[in-house]
Amino acid sequence: MYITSFDRMVNISTTISDLKLKNPTMLAAGILGETGDSLFKVAKGGAGALVTKSIGLEPREGHPNPTFMETEHGILNAMGLPNPGIESYEEEVKMALKTGIPVIGSIFGGDAKEFKMLAKKMENYGVNAIELNLSCPHAKGYGAELGHDKKKVEEITRAVKNTVNIPIFVKLSPDVSSIADIAKAVENAGGDGIVAINTLKAIAINAELAMPILSNVVGGYSGPAIKPIGLRCVYEIKGATNLPIIGVGGILSGMDAVEYIMAGANAVQIGSGVYYRGEGIFKEICQQIGEFMEQNGYKNIQEMVGIAGKR
Ligand code: RRO
């Protein structure tokens, strides 16, 4: 509930599959999601749910530096899936669960078997939902290399769905010819929601050195520049499936979040925004969403979901 200074109330809670969120903002995978401590800080900042860093079967150091750079209109990263590995991640999940808000375990694997093992572990650790990372733009054998293929997406989603009893959300890449077709594959396989979008494949060049800046050359681009692409993807998925959608990409304000909701999202994730503004961004965005709703006569989030597509 959000109470305005006029003592009128608008309800900013939302539901995605079985998950009930006190507000529609979630931490996106990859930022401050590696330890229970950092997830705790984000919860204090007002997030409605927490998504962990993408976790794999084995510990990984990730790509060598440089792995991150700020550009004029966004951020370029090629972290390379650094993570402690699933076996030692239980403690972090247990601590994050103490926040009392839903925790979503993000996982990456090379095939359906690996995804199943990871999902089962995460479920046993107590997470409230699973996010399948089928969209990291720069990891050989993982992420977008699987997620551009409808058959693989369907196979992996169905395998995980048959393994766990918690909701499964699938995070998709915009770097495909039809994100709507990939989302339909998730729906066919029994997935419970779509997360759109991951970062876009991009590079940066250092002209003095006449060479790429990131050690991996290719990275994933995020931040304000990708908002129109994220909106387009959410809009297309909303038009093609009945799945709940979690919108992500360039959200820095309540108005950005409202735009995603009107394009079809039931909730939003914030990643780069946390880098730019700190953990307090969640409370700021919720306040701004509430003010917009109050001023425009919307009583709850559901009233706004997808209305930009209803013409
Ligand atoms: O770790 C990364 O380099 C990474 C991942 Br898993 C992802 O999904 N998206 C991204 O931009 N970076």
Of the candidates 235, 253, 254, 255, the one whose C-alpha atom is nearest the C-alpha of residue 245 is 235
Q: With bands split at pLDDT 50, 70 and 90, how would you rate the model's confidence at 36?
A: confident
Q: With bands split at pLDDT 50, 70 and 90, how would you rate the model's confidence at 1?
A: low
Average pLDDT over residues 92-100: 96
Smallest CA separation from ligand 1 atom 11, residue: 220
For the segment 109-164, what is each residue's pLDDT rounded down to a tens digit? 999 999 999 999 999 999 999 999 999 999 899 999 999 999 999 999 999 999 99
Of the candidates 33, 54, 53, 164, the one whose C-alpha atom is nearest the C-alpha of residue 99 is 33
Query: Residue 253, SS3?
Result: coil
Ligand 1: lining residues by beta carbon, under 6 Å: 30, 54, 77-81, 133, 135-136, 143, 198-199, 220
Q: Is the pLDDT of residue 4 over 80?
A: no
Q: With bands split at pLDDT 50, 70 and 90, how would you rate the model's confidence at 6?
A: very low
Determine which of 32-36, 96-100, 297-301 has the lowest per-residue pLDDT on average. 32-36
Q: Is the pLDDT of residue 3 over 50?
A: no
CB 192 within 8 A of CB 169: yes
Show which residues are catalytic. 136
Smallest CA separation from ligand 1 atom 1, residue: 81
CB 267 within 8 A of CB 21: yes
Smallest CA separation from ligand 1 atom 7, residue: 136
Residues 6+ apart with CB under 8 A from 228: none
Percent of the chain with pLDDT over 70: 97
